[in-house]
Amino acid sequence: MPKIKPSKGAPYARILGVGGYRPTRVVPNEVILEKIDSSDEWIRSRSGIETRHWASPEETVAAMSVEAAGKAIADAGIDAAQIGAVVVSTVSHFSQTPAIATEIADRLGTQKAAAFDISAGCAGFGYGLTLAKGMVVEGSAEHVLVIGVERLSDLTDLEDRATAFLFGDGAGAVVVGPSAEPAIGPTVWGSEGDKSETIKQTVPWDRFRVGDASQLPLDSEGNVKFPAITQEGQAVFRWAVFEMAKVAQQALDAAGISPDDLDVFIPHQANVRIIDSMVKTLKLPEHVTVARDIRTTGNTSAASIPLAMERLLATGEAKSGDTALVIGFGAGLVYAATVVTLP
């Protein structure tokens, strides 16, 4: 039998550029309180959220992605034609097919780049980053665009006191390309499907085909509710605080570094209390910059890590070459953590 040629990729991969897009509309907690019995103080103390961004009809999943991706491509110093693959993580693109990644790849002006979507919830950016690293090292693409994008305002039940205040919209993107030295560490990832009921969509899409409103949730005025994201808050909090700190430590171990070697910690922006608890459990030194972008952006699921990364670099709180631990976790329950060198 003929021998298959070995792949000719780069020795290593790194993040070359990052970009973000936040919708223009800023929504304070007061707007959320119009529908639920709560208070601004309660929302801030429970989640850390003060404001979030909600997309207008024109700020579609594709439009936000193109804006964020354009910034990441420019930041990487390359042209869109050099992008060999586009990976989009989202749960809020409502057309089952085709993948929104194909439209984004075309609008950016890539030269027929491979393009596909993934559904990994709040861990989606980590999943996409891992796939991109593999493509660059394997040689199937020299540059890979990874996008995390959500319009979670479309999947928010504004009458659900447990979740109405949590979610925001936005897009974050990075370009992954070749590197002469290790700059994206081994990924520690996995799933715990036995806990899938803790974060889920309220009803599946096919329930609407039945035509029986008694099988669908109704709002306070008796109207059929659009499917929304719901969660068991306490169960998710305990899992994130106790289990994800272990995963974060495993990622540090896999990269061969200690908390003292870190410059930046960028966890999924789910809840400030979760973030602060992880910092304490990991015993991160005071010199480590911790992303708390959730305060003004809310929980943007797959977009939260690249958006937080982009803001830290833009404000100077983090700098190029810093060593950062990133970890995402959410519906599934799924998770992914790795150590990266910031672009």
Q: Which residues are catalytic?
A: 122, 268, 299
Q: What is the DSSP letter of 123?
A: G
Q: What is the chain's alpha carbon radius of gyration, rounded to the nearest angstrom?
A: 20
Q: How far apart are CA 206 and CA 138, in angstroms?
A: 39
Q: Match 């601004």 to its residue by tokens.
A: 40
Q: How far apart are CA 284 and CA 277, in angstroms?
A: 11
Encoding tokens for residue 103? 């439209």
Q: List the beta strands (DSSP E) in the chain.
A: 12-21, 25-28, 51-54, 85-89, 114-118, 144-151, 169-179, 188-191, 199-201, 229-231, 264-267, 289-290, 323-330, 334-341
Q: What is the DSSP letter of 6?
A: P
Residue 89 pairs in a beta bridge with: 118, 148
Encoding tokens for residue 75? 């930041």
Residue 52 pairs in a beta bridge with: 27
Q: How far apart are CA 262 and CA 260, in angstroms?
A: 6
Encoding tokens for residue 239? 């899992």
Q: How far apart are CA 309 and CA 61, in angstroms?
A: 20
3-class SS of residue 51 = strand
- The DSSP secondary structure of 174-204, one letter per residue, reads EEEEEESS--B---EEEE-GGGGGGEEESS-
